[in-house]
Amino acid sequence: MPEHPAPLVLDPAALEADAEHELLRARGPATRIDILGVEAWSVSDPALLKELLTSPDVSKDARRHWPGFEEALRTWPLALWVAATNMFTAYGGDHRRLRRIVAPAFSARRIAALKPAVDGIVEDLLDALESTPPGEVADVRERFACPLPITVIGRLLGVPADRAGEFRVLVSDVFATTLSPEEAAANTARLYGMLDALIAAKRAAPGEDMASVLITLGEGGADGERLTEEELRDTLLLMINAGYETTGNLLDQAITALLGDPDQLAHLREGRASWPDVVEETLRHSPPVKHLPLRFAVTDIPLPGGRTIAAGEAILASYAAANRHPGWHDDPHAFDVTHITKEHLAFGHGIHFCLGAALARMEGEAALSAFFTRFPDAELAPTEGDMGPIPSLISNGHRSLPVRLRPRTP
Ligand code: HEM
């Protein structure tokens, strides 16, 4: 391979993601890539990635630290990922302020208090699935993996139940990486339209939900924290975006892996592994977020081997490639719930570490244990649905998850 190969153009449809990640690892700890027309450094070495994710020389604030920002706003289908103003894209003090406002809602105590409600939603969804006649196939992504997190996050935020479905479609298109810039911009406009309507409704009739609390803060909360109108809208956007498709992918991937390998299910049934083991191994093996756009070098950053990420250059955190790095895990491509080390970067690392990790883990454990208890004989029916990958460099799930929940009656 030449010393400085041309940027690797990532396939927007991510049809062969595992092979592409292999290629990234083979090109070294960090390598030049092209993601939908934007050049960046993809980092797939876990040690280097952790170093960059904790360095003050790396920012997520495109407005301040990316010379390509204005151009991206006009032409890049993923512009929303760098343009929204919330903790996800904030740097330094702004990040601390924006995260501190929302963080109490995700404390261990608050998440534990949500557990009975999550169990209730899981049971309702499983009751609905139970009506599938024996022998028939259900799309478990469509009817279970995705509705659970969208219902949970919808209730947390105070989204009326009859609007959750619309949000779901719009959020899926935020993760899609095959839209044209115009299609992506139209999707963003529709999403903002729904958020504006939600904010107006909560202003008129506040509740106990997070949207109402954030609106009060925008108007000057009791403890002096403040959110601008734009930050309020974009923080709600972040919550909806971050909380749904990711957790849906976790359930989709875990159910796929367990049904695809009876030995793994046997480890659980015979007590050699637990539901938290399944969740962690799924996060490691098939992380719900494959690549995370984007970060930016604040100053020149020297790389191992003598190259430099120049100030202003973009960085792509390639979490899925890093999680299967052979230097980190033995037999990294095997899904094995008994793996002793399940360390991973599925939730990121450092100051932007996923705020919803505890909620996602709780939802994952509750949903998976209940699903496999209710449908102990479930089996994959891959020929009866499209199990191809979602066309996305970010989201890591299947187009559908066809499962025969109960065998045909003899
Ligand atoms: C399995 C499910 C989930 C996965 C894999 C996941 C993954 C991630 C990742 C990788 C990041 C870090 C992005 C970066 O590199 O900067 C992140 C950030 C974040 N996640 Fe999650 N997430 C999940 C579920 C959730 C849930 C349920 C919520 C709650 C609503 C949530 C809220 C957030 C927020 C607010 C951030 C931004 C944190 C910050 O920038 O300081 N996530 N998530």
323-360 b/e (C-beta count within 10 Å ≥ 16 → b): bbbeebbeeeeebbbebeebebbbbbbebbebbbebbb
Q: Is 325 in the pocket of ligand 1 (CB under 6 A)?
A: no
In sign, the C-alpha dihedral spanning 224, 227, 232, 234 is: negative
Ligand 1 touching residue 175 (CB < 6 A): no
Residue 188: which pLDDT band, with cuts at 50, 70 and 90? very high
Which residue lies with its CA nearest to atom 19 of ligand 1?
354
Q: What is the mean pLDDT of the chain?
A: 94
Burial of 97 (0-12, 13-18, 19+ CB in 10 A): middle
pTM: 0.96
Ligand 1: nearest atom to the Cα of 98:
41
Distance in Å, CA 391 to ligand 1 centroid: 20
Q: Is pLDDT at 1 greater than 60 in this prediction?
A: no
- The larger pLDDT score, comparing residue 85 to residue 339, is at 85
Confidence of residue 41 (pLDDT cuts 50, 70, 90): very high
Nearest CA to ligand 1 atom 31: 356
Is the pLDDT at 219 greater than 80, yes or no? no
Phi, psi of 228 (to 5 degrees): -70, 165
Report how far residue 91's alpha carbon sits from residue 185's, in angstroms, rounded to the nearest whole number.
Answer: 25
Confidence grade of residue 410 (pLDDT, cut at 50, 70, 90):
low
Give yes or no for a contact between 67 and 296, defined as CB atoms under 8 angstroms apart. no
Task: Tell me, using a 6 A CB cutoff, whether residue 354 lines ligand 1.
Answer: yes
> Ligand 1 pocket, 84 CB below 6 A?
no
Domains of the chain: 8-404 (1.10.630.10)
What share of the chain in percent tops pLDDT 70? 97
Q: What is the pLDDT of residues 109-165, one digit of tens each?
A: 989 999 999 999 999 999 999 999 999 999 999 999 999 999 999 999 999 888 888
Q: In 243-343, at which residue ranges do the beta strands (DSSP E only) sit? A: 292-297, 301-302, 308-309, 314-317
Spacing, Cα 214 to ligand 1 middle (Å): 19
Q: Whose CA is nearest to atom 13 of ligand 1?
A: 348
CA distance 283 to 323: 9
Atom 27, ligand 1: residue with shortest CA distance: 243
Residue 402 is predicted with a pLDDT of 98
Ligand 1 touching residue 398 (CB < 6 A): no
